[in-house]
Amino acid sequence: MMDSNGAADDTAEFNLRLYVAGQTPKSLAAIANLQKICEENLAGRYKIEVIDLVVSPQLAAGDQIVAIPTLVRRLPPPLKRMIGDLSNSEKVIVGLDLRPIGKSRT
């Protein structure tokens, strides 16, 4: 669900898909960073699907993946994408609209 500002509300279920290429340091960092951010901000309200394009390269076309690692927020709408190892947690939180309860847009 969305609030009046268009941000996901505090009951929204997040469906996240992370595209990686093998077990590279950057891929492993992206997985770990995403899990940490989700646990701190979305405890119990998220599902992460990790797709290894080394194993299943055909899956890149569905979400128009051009760089890796790429994170795709499929739910709640709208669809959002982020590229990189997700090490800047503040940028990920803003990019995915994971604002803590009670915070408003500035």
pLDDT digits (tens, 9 = 90+) for 34-84: 999 999 999 889 999 999 999 999 988 888 898 999 999 999 999 999 999
Number of other residues whose CB lies within 10 A of the CB of residue 65: 20
- 31, pLDDT greater than 70: yes
In a domain, 26, yes or no: yes
In a domain, 77, yes or no: yes
In a domain, 34, yes or no: yes
- Calculate ∠ Cα 34-39-42, nearest 5°: 100
E strands of 1-106, at which residues? 14-20, 46-52, 70-75, 80-83
In a domain, 56, yes or no: yes
- 103, pLDDT greater than 50: no
Q: Which residue segment(s) compose the domain that 56 sits in? A: 14-95
- Token pair 């940490």: residue: 36
Q: Considering the chain, what is the average pLDDT of its residues? A: 85
Alpha helix ranges (H) inside the chain: 25-42, 89-95
